[in-house]
Structure 1
Amino acid sequence: MEFRVMGAVEIEHDDRVEVLSGRLQRTLLGVLLARANQPVPVDVLTDALWGDRPDPRVAQKLQLHVHRLRGVLDTPDRLSFDAFGYQLRARQEEIDAERFEALVKAGVAASGQEPQRAIESLRAALTLWRGNAFPDVEVPVLADWARRLAERRLAAVESLYEAELACGLHEAVIGELADLVREHPLRERLHGLLMTTLYRAGRRSEALEAYHRARHALVSELGLEPGPELRELQRRILADDLPAPAPERRPADQEVPAQLPVDVRGFVGRETELAELDGLLSEEAPVVITAVAGTAGVGKTALAVHWAHRVRDRFPDGQLYADLRGYGPDEPVSSADALAGFLRALGLDGAAIPEDLGERAARFRTLVDQRKMLILLDNARTVEQVRPLLPAGSSCCTLVTSRDSLAGLVARYGAHRIGLHRLPPAEAAGLLRELLGTRAHAEPDAVGALAERCARLPLALRVAAEMVRSRSGRTIGELAEELADQQEALDLLDADDDPHIAIRAVFSWSYRRLDPAVARLFRLFGVHHGHDIDTYALAAMAGTGLRETRRTLDVLVRAHLVDATSTGRYQPHDLLRAYAAELADTADEAADLDAALARLSCYYLGTASAAMDVIAPHEAERRPKVAVPDAESPTFDSYEAAFAWLDRERINLLAGTQHGEPDHVVNVSDTVWRYLSIGGYQDDSFALHTRAVHAAQTLGDLAAEANARRVLGVATHRAGLDTQAIDHLERALALYQQVGNQSLEAATLSNIGAVTWQHGNLSEAADLIRRALALYEELGDQRMRAPATNNYACLLYALGRYDEAFTLLEQSLAIARDNGDRNVEITVLCGMAEIHAELGRSQQALDYAHFALTLARDARHRPFEGTAMRMIGIAHRQSGEHQEAILHLDRALHIARTVGDSSQLVATLNGLAATHTSAGNPTEALSLYREALTLKDGPGVLVESAHTYAGIGDAHAALGEHDQATEHWQRALTIYRRLGMPQVDAVATKLSNRL
């Protein structure tokens, strides 16, 4: 249970957020929270709610409001009544204001000796701040609480900047401090911080000017000279006697990250490379980035980990490690995920980790600045994957391993590259001797021969050594000869000195020792079309139980033929996977392999359907009825669990549609389209639904083709390909009419209407959406009419009919909540925020948008997260909070680009550009508007283009370029008049004033 009073008054429990919009409800909850866990007399509550106005029914009214408040609590008995009054039970951590004050107190306490810890605590506190508490409530106890919180927030901001200055971050905070000084000209501490920041940035004269501005403000407003601290600061700046911040001392109890993997057993050789690495570290100006590059299996990770353990004592502030999985069957680890792990290891609370990649990278650079740390980035795929993980200073050493040469890392960052090749013959034999012990001493020649059979690659040598140890009754020479015979049998000639050839032979030698059931499971790894795989899917493929499958997997892991990941999944080395695929082609009947893939497809589809029943229960009847898998499958007790499973298995699930039967492709598309839309997986949507269209045509299934075209039309519209979108949607409409599915016919009419109105055909769009609503009415299908109702509300909003639009949104919201339709609920809340913003009600707009943002994040709906973030930015702009507005709009822009939502991209570019104009940066605004114009083939080609032209006119006017302003305003006016939109008057007035 969480009570939030800073900003909109909210109560959250069971993943639901209740916004208390009524003044009396907010007042009642506020007074009870202000005296939490204490009885509040009835007369105190009635006075707070209604003042001293006489009313004989006041006690009944209070009981009614108490009853309503109990209805939104997790348990009604939280709010109890006795002879002393009403009492609300709430722990300190359940009230955002109490957590805020505790974090501020901890941050201020740490600021003297531990500025980094202070920064983390204060930032976590300020993250809780969503706005002033109880801004429209005139009750003394709440007004006092609100004033105290506002003062604590300002003090926290001052302490935060003081701590950041102590960490040397003066350049980063100058602009923010200057804005705060203008906002609070009588706070001497802020003036002092700005002066200190400017001085340490080498801007001494500006620091002195800042003092004179502070003195002028204090004298003119208060008739007082600056205090002794500010005067002393001026004196020290004049004398160039202001010391640099002392380096932060790490507290004794702070955990030092030590993430290096276990050192490699039996490491031998590589003395040249180890010496080269040592030399780079010991130079007067050490090389801080080193890349170790080489082919698969050559021992890059072993070298890097072994060297890292040798030198770890030279990095007292810790060692960070990340396997970026650049070349394995897993999806590569994203830079954002790797940074999140690093930030947690560095002590940052999960709630304080920024969402944006750039912010995470900046936070990481801040935390490791001046620290002596070793950072090992293993198995990188590209420079882009590595770049955000690089520290900025020279105190850290970064070691990167990759099969790629990472030329960009060398060219741009001056990295030193070490090329790693196969072991020399002596070192390869030495590794075998180390691994085999006394057995190797008796057969030196056989050891050398075995090393050559393994192409002197450490990976192959270790697999071979394991097989030698497991066959104690045979000599090394016999095994080496057997390996040579196996090469011949497999027709693996070494004519081109291909190291993979010998590896293949060693793998075959290891494989031949497996029991038939274990060997069969190994071959199935080569049949599986996806990446890593879990036990459930393997059991489904093999047609065995989970327990038996786990036992078989244990054998493969011990034989080094399969690796177990830290997340409980399994994957062979990519060379082993290729070998397993070859074995399956020769050792298994085609019918058996087909049956295994069919079982796997059934498992993935059936489990995906179960997950979608949790994610979108309101659409269960529309999804195809699929067979329940014979194999055991996971169950989902929450939305999060279902979504997480789909995220883990998305690649595997979709890979199966590239080779699956047409009916399977159709069913997967019809089952997971909503998940792909929520996650913003545009590329996957296009690929899957296009395959589904072709599969449905192969089957001659008109209904399936209609379904695939409808969702493909929505996906292409989001990407800005509206000509294709309309084509798919109109074909889907015709097919639905042909098969007689009126409910989906109505949904498609609404979809076409949404695309049509954004292109400026408002009359036609209105007709289409009204036809959809009429069909729903005729069918009595209230559950599915919410999206169409929402689309009609958007159209009315565009025409300036705000009250009608809001009424429709309220209807749509009620339907969505009754059906548990999170998607529509979030859309409606964003629409409500947009209407409030258009009417200048910025606080209400913020409330609705923040609520939508919370729901979007809970639902992991990236496109809607971007929409909500955009609305928050627009609301802040209307309140004159330009920095906050730009921050949120930048995040919205990043999301729109990431998910490929062209409609949101244009709208966000326009919103961000308008904010820059308002903030006095019209040149930056013009750059953004020009980008919006380049997207003219995207959705909103007419409606948003009109907003773009109007904004360009405003920017040119701000620059004094009146002819250009007039030209663009005229273009906007022409479109607005054609569409009958409410912006006509405002633009016409600007033109009239200009003329």
Structure 2
Amino acid sequence: MGGDHRDPTPAQRLQTNVHRLRKVLDEPGRLTFASGSYTFLVHPGELDADRFDELVTRTTNCRDPHQRVDLLRTALELWRGSPFQGVDLGELAAYAQRLAERRQVALEELYTAELECGRHTEVVADLTDLARLHPYRERLHALLMTALYRSGRQADALAAYRHTRQTLVDELGLEPGPELRTVEQQILAGESCAVARPFAAPALPPAQLPQGPRDFVGREDELATLSRLSAAGDDTMQVVVLSSTAGVGKTAPATHWAQHARVRFPDGQLYVDLQGFSPHDPLPPTAALGGFLRALGEDSAAIPHDPIERAARFRTLPEGRRVLVVLDNAAAEQVRPLLPGTSSCFVVVTSRDALSGLTVGHGAYRLDVGRMSRDEARALLRARAPLGNVSQESAAWLAERCEGLPLVLRVAAERFRDSDSHDVANLAAELEGGQDRLDLFDTGDDQTSLRAVLSWSYRRLTPEAARLFRMCGFRCRHSSHYLDGPGAAALLGTSDVRAVRRLLGELARCGLVEPTPDGRYQVHQLLQSYAAELADHYERNQTLPRLVNHYMTGTAAAAGFIRPREVAPRVGGLSGTRVSALRGCASALRWLEDNRPNVLCLAELAAEIGHRDVSVDLSTTLWPYFDLGGHQDEARRVHTLARTAANELGDHAAEAIAVRALGVLELRLGRYDTAERHLREALALHDANARASRATTMTYLASVFAATGRVEHALPMARQARDLCSQSGGESVPATAMNALGRFFRQCGSHQEALRWLRSAHDTAERQGLQPVRAHVLFSLAEVHLETGRYASAVENAHQALDLAKNNGVSDLADAVAALRGSIPEHTGTSAASGQKTLR
């Protein structure tokens, strides 16, 4: 507003002006400062522009010209000079021009009403002055001609027409428009001419936008995209579709942006809630068109009744006008009739449907609105609830429980505000609850209660898609789950994956699942809870066996590429639905990564309902996958569930493997006391004849002893493990156990003993086709060769390890090999570049 962007001290200048303003205010306290900005309190009815708009709007449906004159004169008396007089306009110039145009339109309406009242002679002088001030406003000149003619001054009326025509031709190269020519023809014919109230332009440009949320935060990328596209100036009309799942918040960014961008659309802003997803019937496009046409100045009697003609009228009426159209909460079939046909308009559509047909047929730009980031969610919570004494960690935890959904965040904030204790932990614990967690978001209002909001989408589904959604109700306490075609087919008990993919697409279009870039669909936790509520007991009982068949079959097949099972599965007779083709270790690891959230959900669900065999089998099956590293929290959860289940079943072999897995996990995290306790417990659980399993556990226990400096315990334990391995025979001892023994003996300086076990480990892994294990063993061999001066062998083994790791998705070896690359040139005397070239 200062107008000088080069001002070096804008803050000081602002403070000086605010100080001066406070001096002239009757209530200085109405101007306050908070959160880095000033706020001026304006009571209803105090802002002259609002009062002016209100008075002019009241004339729209007023048939009595005398009442219209009174209202318009009262409105115009509010004006003093020009808008923002005395202020350097800068960015306010466009808004000031819009205000001035509103005043001019109101003046034209006033004198139209005066002529309708028969005050022809009285208004001639005013109209003459106005016509002189505005030589290009043909409507003013038409009003002046009418007033002169009705006052008995036909010659002056025609002279006024000739003067106006000459001005237009000389200065603009244009002939007068239809209205002015019609008045001239009526005067020449001696008819009783009259200038009717204009039907093609309203008294004021429509301003229908609803107020945006006062606590709006974030969405910078979406707002920037809308601003960029609206300023593009394309030759064709631009349509932007904001789409997302239920509760993510599409209307808020659309209306927030529209309110801030409205000055760029001086000819009006049209808004309609199409109720495409709501408790009410969808609004017919013909009804919305009628409202738009009336808002743009069309007389009700002139609006066509035929839907096609009405849509055609709307396409042409805004021609040449800068109009913003916001179509909120739209279903696919509602949008096309409501699109204007001119490039001067900009259209924003919000929908749970992706509206792909609009993207293809009209070149619409689809803007997918994602869930709020952690920072945005935390900011929204703090804007709505008194979180002053709540730590950043607690606020972040609560925000995460709300899954980044603005609707859920607002309701959670209100519950926190209304609670006596203001205890974040209690509220978050409620959010962690079972299916009744949706009760937390029951506000008693169909517009904001989460169940009601989700039901609007569910009711639009076909019966088969609705059934699939209900089957999605198997809920994981700690995460969302994902579905691909085969997984969804397993839920429905069908092998027709192509048909199931169409159903997933339908769920996505209704906002009940969220597509991911890799072609899967995410089912968030609150949606899982809603789906579980909808499913009946029979459907729930059908779901679990299908899930067990599908995911146990796939997990066993994928884990088999990493390492053979140590114990036989407890769940037999599996005949799971078709899983994605597994062509080797890399694709197997990819399948496990993609389906890990679902497998974890299955593990938790099996534990909750007492399917202990499933819990045990998932742990023993996934142990080779988790043993490669990563996913520590998930591994701990699966193995802990299996430990409890195996104990209840009396399956000591499976319990030992689960406890050992927990011990190895703690070993890798450097928690040696806990690791030792778990490994000793596992050793006690092993059957005396399970030599290979005992050897494996002893090897890890020896590693704990070595890591804590107890070599006197480590060596005897490692030798016991070695002897058990020798007694067990090659194939029964896991290659990973032999690799661990080899690494242990290398650390102790027994390089020949280390090479013996590492070569046995490599041969076993190669025979069994266990490429990830081979990669780790080859790297261990490279380390031994490096320490014993066999540099060429070290280079060769490291090169092989790196190739296997890259080709089989074992990414954790990359850093170790890089470190080895830097070590070899120091011993060989070769340059670093040549050494790296050899390793590559």
Computing the radius of gyration over CA atoms, which structure comes out larger, 1 or 2? 2
TM-score, normalisation: structure 2: 0.48
Q: Which has more helix, going by share of residues? A: 1
